[in-house]
Amino acid sequence: MNFKNITVAGSGVLGSQIAFQTAFHGYNVSVYDINDAALEKAKERLAGLKDVYANYFKDETKAIAALERFTFSSSLKEAVKDADLIIEAIPELVDIKINFYKELATVAPEKTVFASNSSTMLPSQFAEYTGRPEKFLALHFANEVWKNNTAEVMGHPGTDKQYEDQVIEFAKSISMIPLHILKEQPGYILNSLLVPFLNAGQALLAKGVADPETIDKTWMLATGAPMGPFAILDVVGIQTAYNIVANEAKHNPNAQPIADILKTDFLDKGKTGKESGEGFYKYPNPSYLDPEFLKA
Ligand code: NAD
């Protein structure tokens, strides 16, 4: 493995998980965020993740050892001074990312490979600002990295394949399953499949074709899948689903009735999905998990 020192930029929900997963597998991890308050928050998140990893992997010693491998800095120059790889997990806003890559280009050592964890943007949107387009690509993790261990690896047309290979090796070394995407694709593989699937389920509801339980039941019975679209929507969170469909409605009027249902029947009533205890199903015992659900 070529990489020894990893920098994670942005230590929010995903950045802290990526940092912990990396340190848990023995790497030194430099954590960068914009100021000391954000870094204090990062320390709290990482301490919380120590307990998550200790419980999930039943290995408290290894989880405690991971905590020893972090350094923290709010100076980008300092945070990347030894980095072989930097993984960017800063907010999903184009201007913030452009400014970040412009600054990074001026302070990172020549050897550093840059990887973005962006969910919805493409590496080609930022390549020109990195100063090293051949060493820039996407490395996309899923929330709850320790168990949802996909790592979608996607270059842009100017990425040198040797760095894609190195990032794939790195992903394997931290127990991720690398999924190599051969051509730039908005939404990678997962969201290219999932978003249209969830939209199709919601469109059936909005048109009055069937209720959520019947739609989920059909999918589960016919394909053997453990969840249908509405059970998945509850896990994703109805606020996120609403954001996607409300955005779609700006240029596709067919999406507006779906957005209206999500807002009026769910968000306005505090039903935001599994996290709040209710969405399309009631938790902790949603009906789709009842063994009788598929029999009736
Ligand atoms: P978040 O809001 O939880 O964290 C963002 C972090 O970036 C914060 O710690 C913030 O202080 C920091 N930050 C803000 N401006 C910065 C700057 N200029 N430089 C450095 N750090 C800065 O966001 P998140 O959910 O962790 O998402 C981060 C990235 O990961 C996004 O690109 C998102 O698309 C992607 N992602 C998120 C998820 C998810 O489920 N949340 C899943 C996969 C990928």
DSSP string, 116-185: E--SS--GGGTGGGSS-GGGEEEEEE-SSTTTS-EEEEEE-TT--HHHHHHHHHHHHHTT-EEEEESS--
Contact 271, 232 (CB under 8 A): no
Map tokens 């249902």 to a residue. 261
Q: What is the Cα–Cα distance from 208 to 196, expressed in whole angstroms?
A: 18
Please identify which residue in the block is written with the tokens 């009055």: 208
Output the pLDDT for position 179. Answer: 98
Rounded to the nearest whole angstrom, what is the distance from the C-alpha of residue 92 to the centroid of ligand 1? Answer: 6
Q: Using alpha carbons, select from 105, 109, 107 the residue that is nearest to residue 128.
A: 105
Q: What is the pLDDT of residues 143-192, one digit of tens each?
A: 899 999 999 999 999 999 999 999 999 999 999 999 999 999 999 999 99
Q: Which of 87, 116, 111 minimizes the C-alpha distance to 27?
A: 87
If one residue of 8, 11, 14 were mutated to test the ligand 1 pocket, choosing by the most ligand atoms within 8 A of its CB, it would be 14
* pTM > 0.85: yes or no: yes
Among 89, 73, 92, 91, which residue's Cα sits nearest to residue 81?
73
Centre of ligand 1 from the C-alpha of residue 124, in Å: 19
- The answer to whether the CB of 64 is under 6 A from ligand 1 is no
Query: Which pLDDT belongs to residue 132?
Result: 98
Pairing of strands 177-181, 5-9: unpaired
Ligand 1 geometric centre to CA of 13 (Å): 7
Closest ligand 1 atom, CA of 120?
34
Distance (angstroms) between ligand 1 centre and the Cα of 89 equals 5
Burial of residue 203 (CB within 10 Å: 0-12, 13-18, 19+) is middle
Given a contact cutoff of 8 angstroms between Cβ atoms, the answer to whether 193 and 225 are in contact is no
Dihedral sign from CA coordinates of 178, 184, 190, 191: positive
User: How many helices (H) and strands (E) would you count in the chain?
Assistant: 11, 8
Q: Is 33 in the pocket of ligand 1 (CB under 6 A)?
A: yes
Domains of the chain, first to last? 5-181 (3.40.50.720), 192-289 (1.10.1040.10)
CA pair distance 294, 288, nearest whole angstrom:
8
> What does the pLDDT read at residue 120?
87
Q: Averaged in consecutive runs of 10 residues, what is the pLDDT profile of the chain (296 residues)?
A: 93 96 98 98 97 97 98 98 98 95 98 96 97 98 94 98 98 98 95 93 96 98 97 92 90 94 97 94 97 91
The confidence score (pLDDT) of residue 122 equals 97
Beta partners for residue 5, in sequence order: 28
Q: For residues 140 and 119, is the Cβ–Cβ distance under 8 A? A: yes
Ligand 1 atom nearest the C-alpha of 16 is 26
Q: Which of 81, 73, 90 is nearest to 39 (CA)?
A: 73
